[in-house]
Amino acid sequence: MQLAGNFGDLSGDYLSLFFLFTILLISVPAAVYSTGYMMGEYGGKKKAVLWALLAAFVSSMALVVLTANAFVFLVAWELMSLLSYFLVVSDFKHEKSVKAGTIYIVMTHIGTAFMTAAFLVMFRYSGSFDFSALKEACSTMPPEIKNIVFLMLLAGFGTKAGLVPLHIWLPYAHPQAPSHISSIMSAVMIKTAVYGMLRFVFMILGIGAIWWGNLVLVLALVSCLAGIMYALTENDLKRLLAYSSVENIGIIMLGVGASMVFMKMGLPAVSLLALCAGLFHLINHAVFKGLLFLCAGSIYKATGTRNIEHLGGLIKKMPVTAAAFLAGSIAISGLPPFNGFVSEWLTLQALFTGAVNTGGSYKIFLCVCAALLALTGGLAAACFVKAFGVTFLAVPRSRAAERAGEVPLSMKAPMVFLAAAAVLLGVGAPSAIRCISAVADSVIAAPAGGITLSASLNTVIIASAIFTASAAAFYFMRPRRTTECNTWDCGYYKLGARTEYSATAFSKPLRIAFGFFLLPYSKTEKIRDSFYHVRSFKYEVFTTPVFRDYVYEPAVKLVFMAARQVKKIQPGSIHVYVAYIFATIVLLVIFMGRF
Amino acid sequence: MAVGLILFGILVMAFAMVAAKRLSALIFGFRAQSFFLFMLTFILAWRENSTQLYIVTTMLFAVKVVLVPNFLQKVARRIKADEDLGLSVNPTVSMSAAVLLSYMAYLFTGKIVSIPGEFENSALFISLSATMIGTFLMITRMKALAQILGLLVMENGIFLAAASVSGGMPFIVEIAIFFDILLVVIILGIFVFKINRLFTHIDVDKLTELKG
């Protein structure tokens, strides 16, 4: 019997190693963190199960990026999805966890179905699942089939990556998992989809048409903006981070999509630059998103809530966590000298370089991309000002926040480690970029890409230096004497935690400005003793999840309607079931009798 | 001649079961049908003088003529099921339907198979009739015990087809089928017993709660 490829083959090229490095860079600190996080949270048996699942989960991710056989890839991919599902529902006593898990597993299986279909189409041409054989076969594939395969791969990997409108599972699954798991899922697991895109679309399928890149760019832009807008209006810390993951995947895909477009335009150097930017943002996002999720976990562990409206003043109770969270926030907002700045800067550079080197409508399109990326960066900064400010500054708004204390060393150390990595990747960007350009080189093999890179890197270094210098100057020149006094309260003398600037209030202007997309609505509830005396007043703001309400719910409704129709033939009576069989036999007898 | 009479007996007993209104009559019908089947296989074994067929014949007698009917009767007595079978189609209409089914089976076997020999041809027609009548019983009788009997009648039909057309299935398969039947009847009998205890009735048409 002939096997359909070598199932044991591993691919040890730069791309695989880069992703393996990223996986380990986040997973190891997260595993260390989990020792402290699970203490007192779970019993001994459950802890053992969670450890085993975690180990298997990380191994399956490693197998996904290491294998050189599409069949093994699919199996590892499915293992990764299933194991992460079990980790998401590890708090299975909460109804929310189970619901989140269900949404996750349904979405991820839709994605896997698309991928399987794509692989099978490719297999039809190659007769083997080996990457090398697939690659050979793809060069002879007719372009229409190539287009279909690409769309299926995009849908499959897009679901895992959380590209809008396939992002629906992220804000459910990531918050419900234990924090070290959401850290790994959000920082690394969704990146395996980017690996899949690079491996299968860039290296095996080959980019067929320029509209592929345009499609990815548009989806990426929508993800960026939708992700950050939802993040802005979110008050649940982990959901906020999950939406921000959607945004950052958008930024990564912006680099990937731009790389596809430039490659087709015949600008290999710019293409390489764009891919470098994407890959660099990938590892950066892994670092700071992993860090932020760990911080969110620490806050949850210390206070028992994830709603930032109930927090506040934590900077005094949890100084290390606060510092780590601040580092993560600065990095994710794209400020120097942290790593997020460098990769976002490079992405912008790539888009502008491309715009300069092309003409016509592409000039405008690429400039619009760059402008929207800049807008995303600004909104991200606003979002994390809110997240940090409301959580850590001012005075505590609840008993839980008042009683919070710093987390143990096993949880602090990973956070500090990742924060240090964020700084290191920012300050040491030139060396990091050199490694990553080798990775990008192995993906698209472009000649002489170094020139543009070093030119744009100089700017990065200068900007970092200026920022660091001004920060240092502020530190040394700040006024030494501080006086403590109450905030001026117009003579009211009763300012308390309840009168603080809240997260909802902070995001209000943005809710109004982007009302066309967020469709906000509010509910008020007054209880009066009399016309003049209101005993209690409740004000709640909601935003409409457009994609859920207008895409998924109608689709789900349709499925259920069809299912109800089908259900009518299922009366639950044995007689009727036997009668079906019987009727079939009789019909067959009559039918056969006619011949 | 004798074989023809026996085959006729099998068909008549199938009709008798359709006409039966009471549980004991149904079980008796099955016992008689199995006995005819036993005689038929005995004659076949005697003709071919094969030890394996003799063993099959013995098992047929033991399982279908003695053990299963006795067991079913015991279950029926134990749960004090009333004799009424719960006919959803009255005996007259049932009878007409059964005749119609047999006629269809006759046409069908005549058209699809051209087997030489009167015996094989009519054996196939009767086996198909028995199978369809068994299914018909399962559909139109409300008591769970009647479902078991319908299934057994179907099995008798299939056994007849195998025995007459191909000279029996492979020995090991035949033995396995007997064990299957025994197990199925025991399991179903126990289920009926449990259903009765839980719901105080064994009317299958009332057991429709478990649908999705």
* C-beta neighbour count of B83 within 10 angstroms: 12
Closest partner residue to B111 (CB to CB) among A571, A579, A593 is A593
User: Which residue, among A287, A261, A279, A281, has the nearest Cα to A441 in the 3D structure?
Assistant: A279
Which is more confident, A258 or A336?
A: A258
Chain B residues with CB-CB distance to A592 below 8 A = 108, 111-112
Least trusted range by pLDDT, from A549-563, A568-582, B97-111: A568-582
Q: How far apart are CA A436 and CA A434, in angstroms?
A: 5
**Tens digit of pLDDT for each residue in A418-442?**
999 999 998 888 888 888 888 888 8
Question: Above 90 in pLDDT, residue A256?
Answer: yes
pLDDT at B211: 57
Best of B127, B138, B203 to disrupt the A interface by mutation (most A CBs within 10 Å)? B138
pLDDT at A421: 94
pLDDT at A593: 62
Question: Above 70 in pLDDT, residue A4?
Answer: no
Report the share of chain A in percent with pLDDT over 70: 96
Q: How far apart are CA A213 and CA A149, in angstroms?
A: 14
pLDDT at A1: 41
- A415, A320 contact by CB (below 8 A): yes
Q: Directed axis angle between helix B118-140 and helix B2-19, to 10°?
A: 10
Least trusted range by pLDDT, from A96-100, A126-130, B166-170: B166-170
A285-309 mean pLDDT: 93
A-B CB pairs within 8 A amount to 52
Closest partner residue to A578 (CB to CB) among B108, B111, B138 is B138
Q: How far apart are CA B140 and CA B144, in angstroms?
A: 11
- CA torsion sign for B55, B56, B57, B59 is positive
Residue B45 C-alpha, separation from nearest chain A C-alpha, in angstroms: 32
pLDDT at A156: 95
**Tens digit of pLDDT for each residue in A370-421?**
999 999 999 999 999 999 999 998 888 888 888 888 889 999 999 999 999 9
**Tens digit of pLDDT for each residue in A360-378?**
888 899 999 999 999 999 9
Which is more confident, A585 or B212?
A: A585
**Tens digit of pLDDT for each residue in B148-165?**
888 899 889 888 888 777
Chain B residues with CB-CB distance to A581 below 8 A = 135
pLDDT at A477: 81
Q: What ipTM does the predicted assembly reach?
A: 0.72
Closest partner residue to B212 (CB to CB) among A567, A589, A595 is A567
pLDDT at B75: 85
- A378, A344 contact by CB (below 8 A): no
- CA torsion sign for A577, A583, A586, A588 is negative
Question: Above 80 in pLDDT, residue A502?
Answer: yes
Residue B207 C-alpha, separation from nearest chain A C-alpha, in angstroms: 7
**Tens digit of pLDDT for each residue in A56-93?**
999 999 999 999 889 999 999 999 999 999 999 988 78
Query: What residue in A sits closest to B206 (Cα-Cα)?
Result: A573
Instruction: Fill in the amino acid letter for A321.
Output: T
Least trusted range by pLDDT, from A185-194, A528-537, A543-552, B104-113: B104-113
Which is more confident, B75 or B118?
A: B75
Cβ contact, residue pair A572, B209, below 8 Å: yes
A237-242 mean pLDDT: 94
Task: Say if A378 is an interface residue toward chain B (CB within 8 Å).
Answer: no
Domain ranges within chain B, ordered by starting residue = 2-83+91-206
**Tens digit of pLDDT for each residue in A136-187?**
888 888 989 999 999 999 999 999 999 988 999 999 998 888 999 999 999 9
pLDDT at B140: 87
Query: What residue in A sits closest to B134 (Cα-Cα)?
Result: A582
